[in-house]
Amino acid sequence: MVKICCIGAGYVGGPTMAVIALKCPAIEVVVVDISEPRIAGWNSERLPIYEPGLDDVVRQCRGRNLFFSTEVHRHVGDADIVFVSVNTPTKTCGLGAGKAADLTYWESAARMIADVSRSDKIVVEKSTVPVKTAEAIEKILVHNSRGVRYQILSNPEFLAEGTAVQDLFAPDRVLIGGRETPEGRAAVARLRDVYAQWVPGDRIITTNLWSAELSKLAANAFLAQRISSVNAISALCEATGADVTEVAHSVGRDARIGPRFLSASVGFGGSCFQKDILNLVYICECYGLPEVAAYWREVIRINDHQKSRFVNRVVSSMFNTVAGKKIAVLGFAFKKDTGDTRETPAIDVCNGLLGDKAVISIYDPQVTGEQVSRDLAMNKFDWDHPRHLQPLSATDLAKQVAVAPDAYEAARDAHAVCILTEWDEFRTLDYKRMFDAMHKPAFIFDGRNVVDPAKLREIGFVVYAIGKPLDDWLKDMPAVA
């Protein structure tokens, strides 16, 4: 019986191993983690991660060929294939701070594997790592090997939050990178055989080790670039009277470009895009490629510019003064249908408005008030470190920020409403009712293009929507930082 052990029971390791166990009944899969509460969560009725379909998959396999345990040493020692799925947070101090990936957890995992191994093993990089990490890991394993042989493979994940199980069942591709030696090729074939039990052969791509490592970063950079590009065009649309939805639709009809990821917005968020691009930028700098680093950095700069420009538009529209004015923020999650707020543009927009002394009332159907408070008190990338290292909530914020139970309460007596997450419920609100309870002039700033500007103007709102021809009111009050 092939034994797989996965170090790290987080968002990547958990679902991936659950699906492998479901699809490969002949393989024993153990997910290990040093966090006892997390492992206890996986073994309970309430899994620590919510993903549609995950409950069902876990229930079918748990206790049969899927196990969750804190006995890390024992299960790593027993395994034939070890997946390393630990986190690689962005460094917040020292060399490469704000860009480079912190490989502390990775290095300690490698040392532990070397310590406990008694038989040859395939070690698979599953988490996102900088290019050439496999080489560093290999050195640690080889120099501590005591006769045991290791093959390092790279097998990055391409899951999107909210569709992880679906992405695992029917992936666009599974990528496996390995050394181009006979032993390396044998290891690649072994891992390929695991996936081949449910993934068609033509979707399993094998490359060299560095290509696989780089592909994960590159794919995320390409996706984020599409968003920044359409956001860059949205600024030009506002300046010229073009409509970004029309332009994006036309561009997307070109089969060489494709229509996905061409929705303009207040900015992209999520735990991957910014982190992976900054990582890519740092790697380019380390390899003496400043021109390439500058190229990818622009994707981040446009994202930051888009958020700044949105804030500037809000403030300038209201006579350059928002001090003491109540502004409603609808939506705090980085995208709809999730409670995830990592790198959400809402943080930057709210911080921008707070900097101008606005009073903010936030409503989001899924994000908790505690999370909002924590996010607004944190520095960049603090979210990527364990909870106990994160700072305590500041009390100062309490005066300027309130969390409302619903959209109407958030908007009551407000001067403006900012829509920052594309929740479906925001499309069908009773805006007439909302208008009646607001100060006049009443503004709507739609950062996700979910409302119909023409209808809202009929009600009496001054409307700003990203990338759309400007309301007359806004034309006369240019947002210049």
User: How many helices and strands, by DSSP H and E, does the chain display?
Assistant: 19, 14
Contacting its own copies (CB under 8 A), which of 18, 283, 442, 474?
283
Contacting its own copies (CB under 8 A), which of 226, 313, 374, 448?
226
Contacting its own copies (CB under 8 A), which of 59, 139, 249, 433?
249
Token pair belonging to 331: 């939506």
* CA-based nearest residue to 118, from 147, 84, 140, 144: 147
- Quote the least distance from Cβ 244 to its own copies, whole Å: 8
Q: x/- contact string, 88-127, with its own copies (CB under 8 A)? A: ----------------------------------------
Residues making up the annotated binding site are: 8-13, 33, 38, 86-90, 127-128, 161, 272-275, 342
Based on the shown chain and the rule CB under 8 A, indicate whether residue 236 belongs to the binding site for its own copies: yes
Q: Considering 5, 237, 272, 418, which one is annotated as catalytic?
A: 272
3-state secondary structure at position 152: strand
Instruction: Report DSSP letters for 174-205, one per residue.
Output: EEEEE-SSHHHHHHHHHHHHHHTTTS-GGGEE
Count CB atoms within 10 A of the CB of residue 85: 25
Q: Is 286 a catalytic residue?
A: no
Give 369-373's long-range contacts (Cβ < 8 A, gap of 24+): 369/403, 371/332, 371/339, 371/341, 372/332, 372/341, 372/401, 372/403, 373/397, 373/398, 373/401
Residues 461-480 that bind its own copies (CB under 8 A): 469, 480
Based on the shown chain and the rule CB under 8 A, indicate whether residue 284 belongs to the binding site for its own copies: yes
- Quote the least distance from Cβ 403 to its own copies, whole Å: 33
Based on the shown chain and the rule CB under 8 A, indicate whether residue 169 belongs to the binding site for its own copies: no
Q: x/- contact string, 414-453, with its own copies (CB under 8 A)? A: ----------------------------------------
Residues 293-312 that bind its own copies (CB under 8 A): 294-296, 298, 301-302, 305
* CA-based nearest residue to 330, from 441, 266, 404: 404
Is 267 exposed, middle or buried (CB count within 10 Å of its CB: 0-12, 13-18, 19+)? buried
Instruction: Report DSSP letters for 267-292, one per residue.
Output: ---SSSHHHHHHHHHHHHHHTT-HHH
Token pair belonging to 112: 């532990």
- Quote the least distance from Cβ 213 to its own copies, whole Å: 7
Separation CA 20–CA 15 (nearest Å): 9
Q: Which is nearer to its own copies, 57 or 293 (CB)?
A: 293
Token pair belonging to 393: 């909530």
Q: Which residues bind its own copies (CB under 8 A)?
A: 131-132, 158, 172-173, 175, 203, 205, 207-215, 218-219, 221-223, 225-226, 228-229, 232-233, 235-237, 239-243, 246-247, 249-251, 253-258, 260-261, 280, 283-284, 287-289, 291-292, 294-296, 298, 301-302, 305, 469, 480
**Residues with a known catalytic role:** 272
